[in-house]
Amino acid sequence: MAQSIPGKTAIVTGAGSGINLEFARLLLKHGANVVFADLALRKEAESLVAEYKSKAVFQRTDVTSWTDLNQLFQVAEQTFGSIDIVCPGAGVYEPPFSNFWIPPGTQGSRDSPVHDRYLAMDINMTHPIRVTQMAISHYLNAKPPASPSNPKSIIHIASIAAEVADLGCPLYYAAKHGVKAFVKALADLEELHGIRVAAVLPGVVKTPLWTEHPEKLKMIRQQGGDADEWVTPEETAEVMLRLVKDNSTSSTISGGGDEVPIRGGTCLEVLVDYVRDVPLLNNIGPNAPGVPGASVKDRQKQRDDILERLQTPGWGQFVS
C-alpha cells in the first residue's frame, strides 16, 4: 500500500549526514515535512534545514535514550500535527568506542564492563526496534488511525552485512541480521493495518562512516583499474523513497530493469545501479555477477589488525 508524500510528516534519525540526510532531502523535495533527529547536523544538513525552514526542524536526539525518542515524537506531532513516515536510520559501523575486538573496560572502549550493554547494539539494533514500536503505537492511536486506506511507513536501513558474516565486525553483522529479520517479521502489518515496514540493504556506501575513519578507509582500494566502486547515498535514498511511495521498483536504479515488487517486509539490496529483493530463505547473497558495490577488496587488512590485536598480552582484560 504505497503512501503519497506531499504534506506528510517524516521523522528521520541520523539525518545529520550520509544516507539519512539524502533521504530527508528527497522527502522535502517531494513535499513532506521532516524532523531531523541526530546529535548534531553537519553543515550541509544545517543548510538544508535552513532552506526548508517552514518544513524542516532539527531535534537533538540521542537514539540510545528512550526519553529523547519520546521527546522526538512529541516534537514532530506538536510541530506538524501528525506523523506518517518514520526512518530509524541512525547507525555506526563497528566504532572503536564500542567494538567486539575492543572489549568493555579496555583501552579505547566506552562500553562499561558493569553496565551490561554494548553502545553499538543500542544504536544499531535496540534503537530501530524501539522507534518502530513507538511509530506503530502512534499510527494505531492517531485520529484517524493507520489503515489500508490511510497507509503509513517505517523504513529501516540494514546492510548487505545482513546477508553475510565476517571476522571483522561481528557486532555490526549481528545487528544488521537482526534488523533484516525484524523487518521480515513485521511484514503482515501492511495488510492488517496499512503500516508498511520495509528496509534497504545497501552495499559499501560513500558516507562519513567510511571516509572519516582511516582504520576503515584502508580496506577500500581507491586507485588503479581494480579500484572499489561505491554505492552513493543518493542511490540508497532513492530506493528508500520508492519503499514509501511505490508498489514496485526497477531492478536498476536508473530504470528499465525488471520489476521488483514492494510490500510489507520487503528488503531491497542496493548496489551500484542495482536493486534486488532479498528473500527470507534461500538467499544467494550479495554476489550479482559484475555488479560493484558489494564488497571491499582490501578487507584482509582489517582481519590482520584483529589478529595482531588478539596476540597482544592481556587482550580483553580490564584496564585498572
- Grid cell 525488471 in the structure block, residue: 258
pLDDT score recorded for residue 209: 66
pLDDT score recorded for residue 302: 83
pLDDT score recorded for residue 313: 87
Among candidates 281, 239, 282, which has minimal Cα distance to 262?
239
Rounded to whole angstroms, the Cα distance separating 72 from 11 reads 8
Rounded to whole angstroms, the Cα distance separating 121 from 104 reads 13
Please report the domains of the chain, with CATH numbers, ordered by start residue. Answer: 9-212+230-293 (3.40.50.720)
The helix (H) or strand (E) run that includes residue 56 is strand 56-60
pLDDT score recorded for residue 142: 96
CA dihedral 195, 201, 205, 207 (to 10 degrees): 40
Q: How far is CA 166 from CA 95, 126, 178, 277, in A?
A: 16, 22, 15, 22
pLDDT score recorded for residue 43: 96
CB distance 65 to 24 below 8 Å: no
pLDDT of the chain, 320 residues: tens digit per residue? 799 999 999 999 999 999 999 999 999 999 999 999 999 999 999 999 999 999 999 999 999 999 999 999 999 999 999 999 999 999 999 889 999 999 999 988 999 998 899 999 999 999 999 999 999 999 999 999 999 999 999 999 999 999 999 898 999 999 999 999 999 999 999 999 999 999 999 998 867 766 666 666 667 776 676 667 788 999 999 999 999 999 999 999 999 899 999 999 999 999 999 999 999 999 988 877 677 777 776 778 888 888 888 988 888 887 65
Q: What is the DSSP string of 176-240?
A: HHHHHHHHHHTTTHHHHHSEEEEEEEE-SB-SHHHHT-HHHHTTS--SSTT---PBPHHHHHHHH
Three-state secondary-structure class, residue 320: coil
Question: Dihedrals φ, ψ of 26, to 5°?
Answer: -65, -40
pLDDT score recorded for residue 213: 64
Rounded to whole angstroms, the Cα distance separating 43 from 16 reads 9
pLDDT score recorded for residue 206: 66
pLDDT score recorded for residue 221: 73
Rounded to whole angstroms, the Cα distance separating 144 from 48 reads 31
pLDDT score recorded for residue 205: 82
